[in-house]
Amino acid sequence: MNPESTIYNCCVIELNKIHNRSGNITTVEENLNIPFNIERVYYLYDVPSGVERGGHAHKELQQLIVAASGCFDVVLDDGKNKKVIELNRPNYGLLVVPGIWRELINFSSGAICLVLASQKYKVTDYIREHNDFLKFKKI
């Protein structure tokens, strides 16, 4: 549980890029370039134009969100402040700490949103109503 987290605890992490004439490789290693163990990986793709994803917060889950292809915006909201992060490079990831409301918008055609998550899928970890989120944040 992290009701005290703010959007300023979320940050964009520059990942490595191993480059040669035949392309690039980026690696993510738990507890090395991200501060949690990776329990789950999922990815969003074929997102229709104009559709918004997310629209929830997590009580405990930490995530690294990467635009593996294309681009999209992540709106972060801690109940008091909001900021929009554009993700558009596969070697940058947005670390989202627990207790942050997030929305994913403006998906480009062919965008792939890769998410590395610190826990297995757990329905009870989700806060899906913004009013419940504000109560959780004690606002």
Query: Residue 44, interface with ligand TYD (CB under 6 A)?
Result: yes
Which residue from 8, 43, 45, 121 is in contact with ligand TYD, where contact means CB under 6 A? 121
Query: Residue 70, interface with ligand TYD (CB under 6 A)?
Result: no
Q: Which residue has the tokens 């596969």?
A: 90
Which residue from 16, 54, 119, 134 is in contact with ligand TYD, where contact means CB under 6 A? 54
Q: Among all residues, which ones are annotated catalytic? A: 56
Q: Is the CB of 28 or the CB of 114 nearer to ligand TYD? A: 114
Q: Which residue has the tokens 């989120």?
A: 133
Query: Residue 42, interface with ligand TYD (CB under 6 A)?
Result: yes
Q: Which spans of this chain sit near ligand TYD (rule: CB under 6 A)? A: 40, 42, 44, 53-54, 56, 121
